Amino acid sequence: MLTTPSRPAGIGLAVGSLAVLAGCQAGDVPASVPDEALDTTPTDSTEVVEAPEAADQPADLGPLNDGTYTVTGGYQAPSGAETILVTVSVADGLITAATVEPQSSNSTSSRYQGQFAGGVADEVVGKSLAEIEVTRVAGSSLTGRGFNEAMQQIRSEAQAAHSSSSSSSD
């Protein structure tokens, strides 16, 4: 009769745990984690960061057409894909008004979107459209990703509108 030496239970548990963790990747978040639960900074803080110069966002966009732009910005939350409706007015390259309309049907995401919507104008009005990027507004950081996506679209629209108005006046 062949017998195998017994292992302490702790070794089997440790090996089993490692096997489970090996399948995880950095950034994997279970679907049951509430929206923005991984943020550890206080919820009443606000931080606006001027966007760094990057290849995908030049520091000098050139002339931008004044006007009011409305676009949908999207982002990924633990609850799934989310969107916000962003309206920004621009004059002389500066943001003169900004509103965000929450679009989520998820109660947690909707709450964060509402908090973001209530504080975003105070953070971006008077800032350069070419350079604005938010990271956290009124305790909401993921919603800022959707806002930043919307800002990229609005910058493109403001440039295209200026290009078409410039060429039509030639």
CA separation for the pair 45, 8 (Å, rounded): 49
pLDDT of 136: 92
The ranges assigned to domains in the chain are 41-168
| Residue with the larger pLDDT of the pair 153 and 161 | 153
Kindly tell me if the per-residue pLDDT of 95 is higher than 90: yes
Residues 90 and 64: beta-carbon distance below 8 Å = yes
Q: Which of 77, 83, 75, 99 is nearest to 29 (CA)?
A: 77
Q: Among 3-7, 131-135, 150-154, which stretch is predicted with the lowest mean pLDDT?
A: 3-7
Residues 6+ positions from 54 with CB-CB distance below 8 Å: none
CA separation for the pair 85, 143 (Å, rounded): 11
pLDDT of 60: 56
**Predicted structure pTM score:** 0.62
